[in-house]
Amino acid sequence: MTTKRILVVDNEEYIQEVAKICLETVAGWEVLTASSGKEGISKAADFHPDAILLDVMMPDMDGPTTFEHLQANPDTKAIPVILLTAKIQATDRRRYAQMGLKSAIAKPFNPLELAAQVANALGWQLEGGENGYI
């Protein structure tokens, strides 16, 4: 099985670090981080991740706007995007699904469950452990 590549786009360095450590340790995925929507768009085109975790609330360019730019680029259009958000309600989930986003994960998230949440949202199997989880 090839290693999954994940791009985490969040303006909070702490969130980037926690997500990176957890996804690399728990799932064995390769993780790259970006601190803004603009940087995320550039890195997505260069890195070609298997998925993007995208913060909703960022200065300059928010998550939904960043997602629209990713969708407009043929090189990044097919990359599944999961939002990371502090505000998540049923109406938000419906709106995100209508936009074409795969899922939304509430912040703060449980670091030990993040890989399983991502895998579940994307239909991926985690290696090892009971139920496919480490």
DSSP state of 132: G
In angstroms, the Cα distances linking 111 to 32, 39, 97 are 17, 24, 24
Q: Which residue has the higher pLDDT, 130 or 61?
A: 61
Q: 97-111: per-residue pLDDT in tens?
A: 778 788 889 889 999
Domain ranges of the chain: 5-120
pLDDT category at 126 given cuts 50, 70, 90 is confident
* Class for the domain spanning 5-120: alpha beta
Q: Is the pTM of this model over 0.95?
A: no
- Sign of torsion over alpha carbons 91, 92, 97, 103: negative
Label residue 112 by pLDDT band (50, 70, 90). very high
